[in-house]
Amino acid sequence: MTSSSKPAPPPYFNIDPAKAAARLSDPIDTVRFAKAATFAAKGRDDLAKRGYSPDGRKRLRKFSTWEVCRYLLDIAPAHLRRVLKAHEDLPQGAGEGGSKWFTLEEVLTLRDHFASEGSSAKQYKSWRPEGQPAKVISVANFKGGVGKTSTAAHLAMSAALDGYRVLVIDLDSQGSMTSIMGGQVEDEWQTAFPLLARDYARHVQAENETRAAAGRSALPLDETLTESLEVSPRNLIQSTHWPNIDLIGAQLNLYWAEFQVPVWRMQARSWPLWDALANALQSDKILEDYDIILLDTPPALGYLTINALSAADILLVPLGASFLEFDSTGRFFDMLYSTFASIEEGENRIRRQNDLPEMKFEWDAVRALITRFDAAQQTDLANVIQAYFGDFMTTYRQEMTAMVGQAGEQVNGIYEADYREFNRDTYVRGRETFDRTWAEIKEILLGTWWRDVQMEAQEDGKA
């Protein structure tokens, strides 16, 4: 190398077209995609096997005395040890020496014990009003990669660690949430698809009764629709490696709903397609079996997302603190406005004609949530976004942490990671990011439940 030599030219100079052509493969036909997909599926299975237990199922790790006393129960380690000694029937944890390791089931048993026998000055169990239905939290934004799935998954796990019973519904045909939860989904019949189909089929049945009475011809009920009438959401719900998180999973075929729903709607204009999922949760009493139902949505404002939004009590809209994400989130709100306002308008026109009370969509709370936040680079922009969104935004910004995504296939996010694999400070900080997100959402959750109870009491008083 000579010291006076010019630096090498940039890599895009002097490209030889003939050599470039020689490096190309033949033109690609559609079959080649199938081949790529097959290879990818094989690779995925290989990778997956490395992290899964031999039976291919995910396992949740155990929690140490340190974690139990630091994050899960408000008790000192010495007190926990005394109580365990005095109550041999309680789970004693596994492992030698001072630190014992407990499964989450065991932690939940310990929590029940303390809640019924521990100090009454302390709150061992998270509050939840009796007799109130689960709150539905939807996480949505039509932009991809903004942290919808990560936020929804972490919230589900935080809530589960807090002892809530959680149902996660994956509405994204990419199925990321389903993988995180270790779900197995064969085809669209194991996703939310049949719930939409059943809602339409029931509508057609009701409509056909009216038509028969009026001597009009019936709307068709094809094989898919007839079959869907047999489906219960309970058959779609699978358990996960978390004892108190259940799942309705997704896979690629769920995308079919985006084509099918508008066809059904064309056949029966009176079908309120946006209510299908909410109806399913309600009519099969799913809302009574859980405390929190979390819906993860695809990066689009399609029919599945509209169903998720319409079923939601609480809507979370994650976005990064960047100009592009702010801009597109603004547009997302604009689309939400026009979509739901036009549904209300259309419905109410018909309702007014029939002397029925008007309908209005309503959410308990809506929050934009800054995700992947880098305080060193993005504080100014985040402050601007905060100023414009005002109380539409959470106050806490979910920070960027290497602990998300890094953990890979077996472990997802902070709550599944074993803290011993990290520097303790890194762990504590990384975890705090999601703990604080949960704290803020939990506050909204408890607040809305509380408000519901007060409102019910007021109405009962009037009656």
Cα–Cα distance, 430 to 401 (Å, whole number): 6
d(CA 319, CA 331): 12
Cβ–Cβ under 8 Å, residues 274 and 257: no
401 makes contact, choosing from Mg ion, ligand ADP, none, with CB < 5 to 8 Å by partner type, with ligand ADP
Are residues 284 and 232 in contact, defined by beta-carbon separation less than 8 angstroms?
yes
Up-side HSE of residue 271: CA atoms within 13 Å toward CB?
A: 26
Does 243 participate in binding ligand ADP (rule CB under 6 A)? Answer: no
Distances in whole angstroms, Cα of residue 275 to Cα of each of 191, 198, 228, 231, 334: 17, 12, 16, 17, 21
Question: Binding of ligand ADP at residue 400 (CB under 6 A)?
Answer: yes
3-state secondary structure of 138: strand
Choosing among ligand ADP, Mg ion, none, which partner's interface includes residue 150 (Cβ < 5 to 8 Å by kind)?
ligand ADP
Nearest approach in angstroms of CB 293 to ligand ADP is 18
Residue number, 173 or 228, with CB nearest to Mg ion? 173
Residue 372 found at the interface with Mg ion (CB under 5 A): no
CA distances, 229 to each of 221, 312, 429, 430 (Å)? 10, 24, 49, 46
Q: Residue with the closest Cβ to ligand ADP?
A: 405
Does residue 143 interact with Mg ion by CB under 5 A? no
Residue 371 touching ligand ADP (CB under 6 A): yes
CB within 8 A of 395, min separation 6: which ones? 440
> Is 207 within 8 Å of 272 (Cβ atoms)?
no
Rounded CA separation 367/441 (Å): 9
> Cβ 159 to ligand ADP, closest distance in Å?
17
Determine, following the binding rule CB under 6 A, whether residue 262 of this chain makes contact with ligand ADP. no
User: Cβ closer to ligand ADP: 212 or 402?
Assistant: 402
DSSP single-letter state for residue 246: E
- Interface segment toward ligand ADP; rule CB under 6 A; list 129-137, 266-274, 339-347, 400-408: 400-408
Figure out which of the listed residues 244, 307, 394, 401 binds ligand ADP, where binding follows CB under 6 A: 401
The interface partner of residue 404, options being Mg ion, ligand ADP, none and the CB cut-off 5 to 8 Å by kind, is: ligand ADP
* Alpha carbons 182 and 54: distance in angstroms, whole number: 14
Asked if 412 touches ligand ADP (CB under 6 A), the answer is no
Among 129, 405, 408, 447, binds ligand ADP (CB under 6 A): 405
Give me the 32-51 binding string for ligand ADP, x by CB under 6 A, dash otherwise.
Answer: --------------------
What part of residues 146-175 is at the interface with Mg ion (CB under 5 A)?
148-149
Shortest distance in whole angstroms from residue 149 CB to Mg ion: 3
Which CB atom, from 144 or from 262, has the smaller least distance to ligand ADP? 144
Q: Are strands 135-139 and 314-320 parallel, antiparallel or unpaired?
A: parallel
Q: Whole-number minimum distance, CB 158 to ligand ADP, in Å?
A: 13
Piece in contact with ligand ADP (CB under 6 A), picked from 145-153, 185-193, 211-219, 383-391: 145-153
Measured from the CB atom, is 405 or 447 closer to ligand ADP? 405
Measured distance CA(323)–CA(326) in Å, rounded = 5
Decide: is 308 part of the binding site for ligand ADP (CB under 6 A): no
Handedness of CA 247, 252, 255, 259 (dihedral sign): negative
State the amino acid at position 196 in one-letter form: L
Task: Give the angle 102-154-273 at the CA atoms, nearest 5°.
Answer: 130
Nearer to ligand ADP, 149 or 190 (CB): 149
Residue (428 or 453) nearer to ligand ADP, CB: 428
The site for ligand ADP (CB under 6 A) is made up of: 144-150, 176, 299, 371-372, 398, 400-401, 404-405
The site for Mg ion (CB under 5 A) is made up of: 148-149, 176
